[in-house]
Structure 1
Amino acid sequence: MTQTDLTTEKTTHTVFPILIALSISHLLNDTIQSLIPAIYPIIKTSYHLSFSQIGLITLAFQLAASLLQPFVGMYTDRKPKPYSLATGMGFTLLGLILLANSSHFFMIVISVCLIGVGSSIFHPEASRMAHTASGGRKGLAQSVFQLGGNFGSSLGPLLAAWIIVPHGQFSIIWFSVMALLAIIILTHIGNWYRGVMLEYRKKRTASALPAPSLSKRKVGLAIAILLILIFSKYFYMASLTNYFTFYLINKFHVSVSASQIYLFVFLFSIAAGTLIGGPVGDRIGRKYVIWVSILGTAPFSLLLPHVNLFWTIVLVVPIGMILASAFSAILVYAQELIPGKLGLISGLFFGFAFGMAGIGSALLGNLADITSIQYVFYICSFLPLIGLLTGFLPDIEGKRKKKVATKPLKH
């Protein structure tokens, strides 16, 4: 059985213990990743960095976390590697140790690149394993998987405020315990996935969903629109994730610790909204979820630069929750456009998302140096309007249902 056969097949029921284990490992992975932007105010002061240098650190991390992902996905489409997730977490562990001991800008860049490489290895294969454990409930599986990552991202600023701010940069080393725990969990998941692969090789029976009856041109156009939507989502997310603390400090003169707590409010709202997109997409269709999740952010984002501190914190909650529902729906929609290429699609979309976040952070940091951090937030408030492009996506779920309904029964 080829890896393509394996990726088109699923377990006959939803394997929640594996989905939960994947979600927990995603939580640990993304908690570690979220420490990077959370410590920006600390290292900016300690090493006298400019906003442009802060943007370059994020760019280095996001490029390392993005460029490898499609290639990892293509490779594992052909040759599954059940224990690759634990190996990737080893790179993350090494990066954490180096980051805790970094004494200048270039060491920080190298350490975040190592953490990024670990992320590159983790996401495509973990997404495939979530699909395999879905039992057909693909949107739900991706949402459970994403929930851990988004909740982990929300924990980073809090942990930075409670641990790293009072105890200094070297206290980052304590988070190596998280990486070690993740390696243990991912080794257990690898054992399960290896067993699934062996079982499928014995059965050699696959029942893939039919591919949507679209031309290559229409599939290519749909993928391009999805990537543009990812661009709008993650450029806007970059402004909030990486510069929200600076925006609050600059405009409202809050303390560093308070700004980290307010950042947690935004990131936690993302975690809280993550479970919406996948299951709702399973029920009513991915395209409708994509419509609401990106374009629906616009009214709140357009108001954000013009309100006081209280309403700023209030507005980032619906912004985070609505945006959070987008990625699972977009990813599953793309996987259904090109079935049998789960690793490639997962790597492409995770990689592109991280890449856009990194490029966005670098460009927005440079723009903040030239203008102001408040001007950056004003410009970014218009990005969700790009969600209007969703109207050009084909209704592949309707096409698939029609195709299945007209398929003759076998006797």
Structure 2
Amino acid sequence: MWISPYKYVLSLGHLCSDINQSILSAVLPFLIATYHYDYTTAAMLVTVSNVFGAFVQPFIGMLSDKKNKLLYMTLGVLLASGGMAVTGFISNFFGLCIVVIISGIGVVMFHPQAAKLVNSVSSKNAKGKGMSIFSFGGKVGFTLGPVYTAFLMNLFGMKGTILFLIPGIVFGIVCSFFNKDFENLDVLEVEKKEKVKSEQKDDWSGFIKLCCVVFSRSILSNGISTFLAFYFIQQFSKSNSFASMLLSVFYGIGSITLLGGGIADCFGHRKMVRLSFCIFLPAIFIFTNTSHFVIALIMLIFMTCGESLSYSPMVVLG
């Protein structure tokens, strides 16, 4: 039981990391209004952030496999927050690309080490639940990002982005109390690995299939989060602030991920992934083909539920 609190510390870190991803999506309409970018140009900021982060993540993962280092997580969250904090002070598009790349790299620095530690502190029969607690923090971060962005933009204008640094500082302070404890988890991990080493086999066929599913889900999820605010502004003539708030609703409903892991522990992780996609894909089709605001909102709820329920089971399967 002594390791239980660490799940919540890691969940807090997930919040402080992922809030920056939703901040990036939420700040795009304000960048368009301020610097008169077109939608394609603005969306490129999300693309470069994700692409560069994706290239860096495997190397961070390899480093994390060798030794637990809280530095990877704390530095990652600080970079993620710091990159977003200066977006309001840079009008040059190339400069904006650089800082969102830094932020994106910061986000991916956090995840491999954190996911590894969550797995370490979760019991064998509650891996899904442990990952759900961790995922819940990320969903809360995604939810708060657009609200936080709209609040700062309305109060301070683009210069208010400097306050995006606060989550990174908060997590850095919290982590300062747990550094030694997390690094000591290496001892526990070595003992676990020695017990199961002879029983484990790499299932490359299953891994490739899972990667294809994760890849497809990521494309859809990132596309929705990037263009959701724009879609409601264009299709339903909503304001920037309203669209940002709606983005928070989208992420907030995603907190259902807290249930996904627990249900998957009971009924099977593969079944949970299949069920989630049976909800996710039809909802996307209806959402993109309706001109009715209320129907779009209802489908948005189903889309979010389907997308979120699959996260924890897929991480555990990986």
TM-score of the aligned structures, taking structure 1 as reference length: 0.72
What is residue 299 of structure 1 aligned with on the other side? 282
Matched residue SS, 2:177? helix
Deviations 1:147-170 (A, max 9, x none): 101111111111122222442111
Specify whether residues 211 and 315 from structure 1 end up closer, same or farther in structure 2 by C-alpha distance, changes over 3 A only.
Answer: farther
Q: State whether structure 2 residue 211 is matched by structure 1 residue 224.
A: no
Q: Is the 8 A contact 2:11 2:137 kept in 1?
A: yes
Give the counterpart letter for 2:225 in structure 1: T
What is residue 314 of structure 1 aligned with on the other side? 298
Deviations 1:121-154 (A, max 9, x none): 1000000111111122211111111110111111
What is residue 147 of structure 1 aligned with on the other side? 136
Whole-angstrom CA distance in 2 between matches of 1:297 and 1:97: 33
Specify whether residues 206 and 265 from structure 1 end up closer, same or farther in structure 2 by C-alpha distance, changes over 3 A only.
Answer: same
What is residue 79 of structure 1 aligned with on the other side? 67
Q: State whether structure 2 residue 153 is matched by structure 1 residue 178.
A: no
Is there any run of 5+ residues in structure 2 with no aligned partner, and where? none
Q: Is the 8 A contact 1:26 1:149 kept in 2?
A: yes
What is residue 368 of structure 1 aligned with on the other side? none
Q: Is the 8 A contact 2:260 2:309 kept in 1?
A: yes
Whole-angstrom CA distance in 2 between matches of 1:37 and 1:60: 13
Q: State whether structure 2 residue 20 is matched by structure 1 residue 32.
A: yes
1:206 Cα deviation after fit: 4.0
Specify whether residues 103 and 323 from structure 1 end up closer, same or farther in structure 2 by C-alpha distance, changes over 3 A only.
Answer: same
What is residue 387 of structure 1 aligned with on the other side? none
What is residue 351 of structure 1 aligned with on the other side? none
RMSD: 2.2
Q: State whether structure 2 residue 103 is matched by structure 1 residue 115.
A: yes
Deviations 1:155-212 (A, max 9, x none): 11111222224421110111212210111223334322123335667x7984338756
Matched residue SS, 1:296? helix
Is there any run of 5+ residues in structure 1 with no aligned partner, and where? 1-12, 335-411
Give the counterpart letter for 1:242 in structure 2: T
Name the % identity. 22
Whole-angstrom CA distance in 2 between matches of 1:242 and 1:111: 18
Whole-angstrom CA distance in 2 between matches of 1:112 and 1:268: 23
Whole-angstrom CA distance in 1 between matches of 2:114 and 2:84: 21
Picking from 218, 233, 237, the partner of 1:249 is 233
Whole-angstrom CA distance in 2 between matches of 1:199 and 1:322: 35
What is residue 264 of structure 2 aligned with on the other side? 281
Specify whether residues 289 and 104 from structure 1 end up closer, same or farther in structure 2 by C-alpha distance, changes over 3 A only.
Answer: same
Give the counterpart letter for 1:179 in structure 2: G
Q: Is the 8 A contact 2:68 2:185 kept in 1?
A: no
Whole-angstrom CA distance in 1 between matches of 2:189 and 2:221: 40
Matched residue SS, 1:306? coil
Specify whether residues 282 and 28 from structure 1 end up closer, same or farther in structure 2 by C-alpha distance, changes over 3 A only.
Answer: same
What is residue 233 of structure 1 aligned with on the other side? 217
Matches within 5 A, 1:367-378: none
Whole-angstrom CA distance in 2 between matches of 1:59 and 1:295: 27
Deviations 1:303-331 (A, max 9, x none): 21214111211221121012101121111
Whole-angstrom CA distance in 1 between matches of 2:302 and 2:55: 31
More helix by share: 2
Whole-angstrom CA distance in 2 between matches of 1:167 and 1:120: 29
Give the counterpart letter for 2:93 in structure 1: F
Whole-angstrom CA distance in 2 between matches of 1:170 and 1:71: 34
Q: State whether structure 2 residue 151 is matched by structure 1 residue 162.
A: yes
User: Highest Rg: 1 or 2?
Assistant: 1
Specify whether residues 170 and 227 from structure 1 end up closer, same or farther in structure 2 by C-alpha distance, changes over 3 A only.
Answer: same
Whole-angstrom CA distance in 2 between matches of 1:78 and 1:58: 30
1:16 Cα deviation after fit: 2.6
Q: Is the 8 A contact 1:64 1:117 kept in 2?
A: yes
Specify whether residues 260 and 211 from structure 1 end up closer, same or farther in structure 2 by C-alpha distance, changes over 3 A only.
Answer: farther
- Greater relative contact order structure (CA < 8 Å, 6+ sep): 1
1:115 Cα deviation after fit: 0.8
TM-score of the aligned structures, taking structure 2 as reference length: 0.92
What is residue 193 of structure 1 aligned with on the other side? 182
Whole-angstrom CA distance in 1 between matches of 2:305 and 2:267: 19
Q: Is the 8 A contact 2:273 2:313 kept in 1?
A: yes
